Amino acid sequence: MWKRLFKIAVAVFLFLTLAVGCWQGTGAINSKSNQDKDVNEITLCESWGFEDGFPTVFTPGQNSNYQAAYYLANFYETLVNYQEGKIVPGLAESWSVSDNGLVYTFTLKKGVKFSDGADFNAAVVKKNLEMLPILLGDYKGSYENFSIFFKEAKIVDEHIVEVHLTSPYYGTLQDFAKPMPMGIMSPNAFNEDGTLSDKLLTQSMGTGPYMSEGQSGGNIYTFVRNPNYWGEKPYVDKFNVKVIPDNEAKALALRNGEIDMIFGSAKISYDGFKEFLEDRRYGAKTSDENVKTRFLGFNLEKEPFNDKKVRLAVSHVIDKQSICTSLFYGIETKADNLLSKSLPYCNIELEPYEHDVEKAKQLLETSGWTDSDGDGIREKAGKKLGGEILYQTGNSVDHDLVLTLVSSLKEIGMEIKVTGLDLLAWYAEIQEGNYTMAYVKTYGLPFDPYTTIANMNSDPLMDNSLAQGFAHVKDGNSIIKGLASLVDESEIQDKYDFILKELHSNVSFVPISYMKELVVFDTEKIADYQFNDQPPNVDVAGIKLK
C-alpha cells in the first residue's frame, strides 16, 4: 500500500513540475511557451467574446454583438474575393454574367470540403443564398443590396450554379466578396426548416483556413487549422482570442507577454499606438488603404440644422487638418469628400470647405443668429443656437474627437451637448430621428461605396443618418434605387457624379478624416502582418512568425 502511495506521489510531483514549467506564472495562455514546440501558436485580444457564435449573418435584431463578423474570413470563404480594387476568384474559379445583367453563372472549385467534412457544391451554395434574405429579416439590404434583388438559385450541375436576379444590380460581385453576410456555411449549419443550427454557437462551419475549437478558461477562445482547408497552409497553426475589455489592459497584456498582437483601431488609442511605434521591441503598422470616413451627420428635419447656412458654418469651423495632426498623430488624413477618391466611381473633384472661423461666424450672422446677451451663445427668435452630438461609446478616440468638435462649435457660439450610447441604443435613436447631429463612420471596405450610397434611400429606411443626406433631393429615393439597376459603366459614373456633388453642395455631411486600420505586435514572436484587401477583417493567415 505504501509503495502504491509513493508511486502516486511521484507521479503528481512530476505532473506539477511540468505544469509549472509550462505555465510561467502569467495566469493566462502564454503563447511563447507551448507544450508542443512544433505548434505555432499566438494569442490576440478583443473587448468582447463570441457568445453569439459563428454564423455569417449578424443583425442588430438577433445578435448582441456583431463585431465577431470581423473574424469570419478566418473561418468562411466567399464565391469571389476583393483584391486591389478588383474582383478575383474565391470558391468560384470563374463566372459569367448575362448580357441583361440578370443571371450570374458561377463555376465552383472542386474537391473543397467544409471544416465539418461536408462537401462544397452547387447545392450548398443554393441553400446559403436562398436562406440569406430570411436570415437578414428586416435588415435585408442593410449590408448588401444583393438580397433585395435575389430571385432564385438554380443548380446546373454539381459544380455550376446560376444566380438569378429580379433586376440588374451593379454591385452584385462586390456583395459576393463580403464574408458577412455572404460567407458560405456548411449544409450542417442549417436546421431542416432552414433556420441556423445551435451548433454554430460553438462551431465555425466553413471552408476557410481555421475553425473554432471552443472556449477555455472562461475568457479565452481557441481556433485551430481547418484540416480540410484546400488552400495554402498558413504560418499560424493555432490562435487564441483573449477577452480583455479595457484598452489600457490590452496594451499592458502585450507588454507582459500575455498576448502577441493587438489588432484594430478600436482597441488601441493613438497615444498607445505611437508609444509602440517608437519601441523597437514591437511592430506597429497602418493599412495602406483608407478604411472608413469619419463624418458628422445632420438631422435636416430639425432646427437649426435644417438651415444650410448653419450646416455650412459647421463645415468651415472644424479644423480637420489640426484634428488629423494632433489627435490622430498624422495617421489619418483630412477628408474633404464623404467617400475617398480611391473608391470605385468616387474620384470626383469637389471644392473643399476649408477651415475659416470668421467665415463660419459671418454665415451665422447672415442667417440671423447673434449673441445679443453676450453669454457666448447665439440666439434667434428666443432660441439658443445648439443641439447635441450623438455618438457610440466604447472608443476613447471617438470620445476625444466628439469633445474636440464641441469645442470648435462653441468657438462660433453654438451650445452643443454630447450623448454617448452603446451601439444598439445609438442605432435605435438614429432610426427614430431622435438626434440633431450624429458622429458616424461610413461602412468601409468592401461595403463602400455601394452600401453607403444605397442606404441613402429612405424606402425602406436602413440607415437614417445616411438617408437624411439625400432627403432634400426631389425623387431622391428613385435616383438611388435607379443607380442600383444600371448596367452601363458610364451611366453609373454619371449617377455617382450627381449624387456626390449634390451631397457636397447641400452640406448634407461634414467629412472629417479618412481612417486607417492599425495593428501592433510583439516582434520576438511575429515577424510581420500583412493587411488583406478588407483591412478591418482580422486575417490570421496574414501573420508571419519568426
- Output the nine-digit C-alpha cell for 248: 489600457
Q: How far is CA 380 from CA 207, 303, 414, in A?
A: 62, 11, 12
Asked if residue 12 belongs to a domain, the reply is no
pLDDT band at 37 (very low <50, low <70, confident <90, very high): low
Structural domain boundaries, residue 38: 28-47+209-289+517-545
Asked if residue 58 belongs to a domain, the reply is no
Same domain, 320 and 438: yes
Same domain, 400 and 489: yes
Same domain, 267 and 369: no
What is the overall mean pLDDT for the chain? 90
Degrees (nearest 5) of the Cα angle 503, 419, 263?
Answer: 80
Same domain, 151 and 244: no
| Mean pLDDT score, 389-398 | 88
Asked if residue 13 belongs to a domain, the reply is no
Q: In whole angstroms, give the CA distance from residue 308 to residue 493.
A: 27
Q: How far is CA 299 from CA 59, 321, 429, 432, in A?
A: 24, 25, 12, 11
pLDDT band at 21 (very low <50, low <70, confident <90, very high): very low
Q: In whole angstroms, give the CA distance from residue 84 to residue 271.
A: 30
Q: What is the pLDDT of residues 161-197, one digit of tens each?
A: 999 999 999 999 999 999 999 999 999 999 988 889 9
Asked if residue 59 belongs to a domain, the reply is no
| Mean pLDDT score, 105-133 | 97
Same domain, 94 and 227: no
Among 142, 168, 200, identify where a domain stops: 200
pTM equals 0.82
Asked if residue 234 belongs to a domain, the reply is yes
| DSSP-derived secondary structure letter, 362 | H
Q: How far is CA 256 from CA 26, 131, 424, in A?
A: 8, 45, 34
Same domain, 531 and 497: no
Asked if residue 54 belongs to a domain, the reply is no
pLDDT (0 to 100) of residue 397 = 85
pLDDT band at 217 (very low <50, low <70, confident <90, very high): low
Q: What is the pLDDT of residues 188-207, one digit of tens each?
A: 999 988 889 999 999 999 99
Among 200, 218, 249, identify where a domain stops: 200
pLDDT band at 39 (very low <50, low <70, confident <90, very high): confident
pLDDT (0 to 100) of residue 62 = 72
- Output the nine-digit C-alpha cell for 524: 520576438
Among 172, 200, 228, identify where a domain stops: 200
Same domain, 337 and 412: yes
Same domain, 299 and 416: yes
7-11, 297-301, 405-409: least confident range: 7-11
Three-state DSSP class for residue 312: helix
Specify the number of domains making up the chain.
3
Asked if residue 71 belongs to a domain, the reply is yes
Same domain, 145 and 192: yes
Q: In whole angstroms, give the CA distance from residue 324 to residue 289.
A: 16
Contact 531, 517 (CB under 8 A): yes
> Using CA atoms in the order 489, 490, 491, 492, what is the torsion angle rounded to 10 degrees?
50
Q: In whole angstroms, give the CA distance from residue 521 to residue 250.
A: 12
Asked if residue 21 belongs to a domain, the reply is no
Q: What is the pLDDT of residues 237-280, one digit of tens each?
A: 999 999 999 999 999 999 999 999 999 988 988 889 999 999 99
Q: Which residues contact 519 (CB under 8 A, 6 or more apart)?
A: 261, 262, 263, 264, 283, 284, 285, 529, 531
Same domain, 285 and 297: no
CATH number assigned to the domain comprising residue 527: 3.40.190.10
Same domain, 178 and 236: no
Same domain, 196 and 113: yes
CATH number assigned to the domain comprising residue 446: 3.10.105.10
